[in-house]
Chains A and B, each alone.
Chain A
Amino acid sequence: MNIVVCVKQVPDTESPRKLKSDDKTLDRGAADGVINELDEYAIEEALRIKEAHGGEVTVLTMGPEKATDSIRKALAMGADKAVHLVDDALVGSDALQTSYALQQVLGRTGFDVVVLGAESTDARTGMLPAMLAERLGVPQLTLANKVDIDGSSITVQRLTDYGYDKVEASLPAVVSVVEKTNEPRYPSFKGIMAAKKKPVETLGVADAGIDAAQVGLANAATEVVDFAEAPPRAQGQIVTDEGDGGVKVADFLASKKFV
């Protein structure tokens, strides 16, 4: 089984996240980079598929030089090898362009199943897995909290507003996972040591057959017009309970016509 897991490095949500004033893109230098949280679940799911069905797990990352930290962590968790798509031409690409770039790389690596986290914590578009399925022309098995593979057939539970859908398809397929899918493992010391020797292939736009005129900020289908810090919320009223706290809250709610 050829399993590819897409991993995005994002700014740590615990540190201040900023946009750059010149080109209005994410300031990746302003915060520590970490693996997007849901991608850890994707890595775990990829490893479990490998453990159950054999094969190889390839980590695919598009991102700047320093995304190698995230790649190493994914390898330390147990992935076998990695492809790092890194090129200045890609800077500022939107989801539409990113899905195109990843499609081109997946055309080189081939795949039986592509696993992604359902959403990133920075852009939060939640679109990339579906866009990839569209571009690759394979079944979209997204928002899955349970994944079962049997031979060439794959079944997932897809979370919906009302509960879940049971969805069936044949491989190859694109899968996205949510945080209830599994419990990501921690890299072991042995895993961390082994990761240093695992192959990481670095690709530029030309190597991957990506048309540079279709990626990057200048060619994006969307444009950030402006941005500003949200006006701070006015300091509210803070009251300490003296036995009638519930009444005080009710008074406030009544003053706002909620009661």
Chain B
Amino acid sequence: MAEILVLVDYVDGEVKKVTLELLTLARRLGEAAAVWVGPGYENAKDKLAEYGAAKVYVAADEELTSYVVAPKVELLAQLVAEKSPGAVLVSATGEGKEIAGRLAVRTGSGVLTDVVDVTEGFVGEHSIFGGAIVSHAKVRQGTPIIAVRPNAIATEAAPGTPAEEQVSVALSDAAKAAKVVEKVVQEKGERPDLTEAAIVVSGGRGVGNAENFKIIEDLADSLGAAVGASRAATDAGWYPHQFQVGQTGKTVSPQLYVAVGISGAIQHRAGMQTSKTIVAINKDPEAPIFELVDFGLVGDLFQVAPQLTEEINKRK
């Protein structure tokens, strides 16, 4: 069975949930082989073992994380040449997609991005045009390189003991051209990562101002959810831009999406339409968001949302 390489995504030494999704997917397609880049593998190894990595390639050299994208590409290209994997899976984050793209150029391979599933023969499923169309695509040249949308695959643990192999790569000068001189970690608080959260609560134009976003945050906290915002809200400066859900922001696919004071323009829908369950609170009964919902409440968010928060807290 061919190895399926999975590039491990981690923040602060902690393996991100999307990697566990990729390992789950990789086991369906072949033998899951994780690729760890940078220092800190020891703290992460249990997690990778728990989710069924049969093998882990450990490239511990810190230099590999000191430049933008290219070192990871050179490492993966070397592994593709040496190990002839069946496919390479990365997460469809901003950086993940860039890695996929460069690796495709480097290895002369076809690349599929932002897939929501992969089936036999490495056929990728896409949800495109804001979720309006489902398409399937395959790679017909080289090693399939596939970037998978976070939260699209349900994780399954499959504990084992992976074989470890230390690997290294001699970086080209070109790979060292864009140097990361400082990594700035912005305060995230206790809430889950937006693209990985099981529940997302988002606020839009109806929220009215920055101060009122407290209502959204309180509701999110009652559900253990991440907070998102529509473009109208981030453009107005009510909530930081990195929390924007939509066409030009983040794409989320949680189990539950709660849209509060969001009309549901295509710009927003493109970023949340593949959510499993959708709930909206909006005072305009004609708001397009109601076309998408499993449950919609027509009402004043300033009445409904605090009452909902209180009710959820009461029922815990």
List residues of chain A with CB under 8 Å of any chain B CB.
13-14, 17, 19, 24, 37-38, 94-96, 99, 118-119, 121-122, 124-131, 133-135, 137-143, 145, 157-170, 173, 178-180, 220-230, 233-234, 236-241, 243-250, 252-254, 256, 258-259
Contact = CB atoms under 8 A, between A and B. Distances in A.
B307 interface: yes
Contacts of B131: 230
Contacts of B181: 166-168
Nearest to A135: B105
Given A166-B182, A233-B292, A249-B295, A227 B199 contact: no
Contact of A241 (B184, B304, B306): B304
A249 B110 contact: no
Given A14-B266, A230-B134, A246 B306 contact: yes
Nearest 7 interchain pairs by C-beta? A246-B307, A241-B299, A127-B101, A221-B110, A163-B186, A227-B135, A130-B98
A52 B42 CA distance: 48
A162 B113 contact: no
B308 A225 contact: no
Contacts of B68: 139-142, 158, 165, 167
A181 to B, nearest CB: 11
Contacts of B266: 13-14
A69 to B, nearest CB: 21
B70 A96 contact: no
B191 interface: no
Interface in B240-259: 241-242, 247-248, 255-256
Interface string B281-301: 100010000111111111110
Interface residues of B, number: 95
Interface of B: 11-12, 68-70, 73, 93-95, 97-102, 104-106, 108-114, 123, 127-142, 174, 177-186, 188, 193, 195, 199, 223, 241-242, 247-248, 255-256, 266-267, 270, 277-279, 281, 285, 290-300, 303-312, 315-316
A139 B307 CA distance: 52
B183 A223 contact: no
Given A17-B132, A245-B281, A161 B102 contact: no
Nearest to A100: B105
Contacts of B140: 220-223
Nearest to B196: A161
A163 B185 contact: yes
A131 B105 contact: yes
B277 A166 contact: no
Contact of B110 (A96, A226, A252): A96
Contacts of A246: 303-311
8 contacts: A99-B105, A138-B177, A163-B186, A173-B177, A173-B178, A222-B111, A236-B293, A246-B304
Given A13-B266, A246-B308, A166 B184 contact: yes
B178 A169 contact: yes
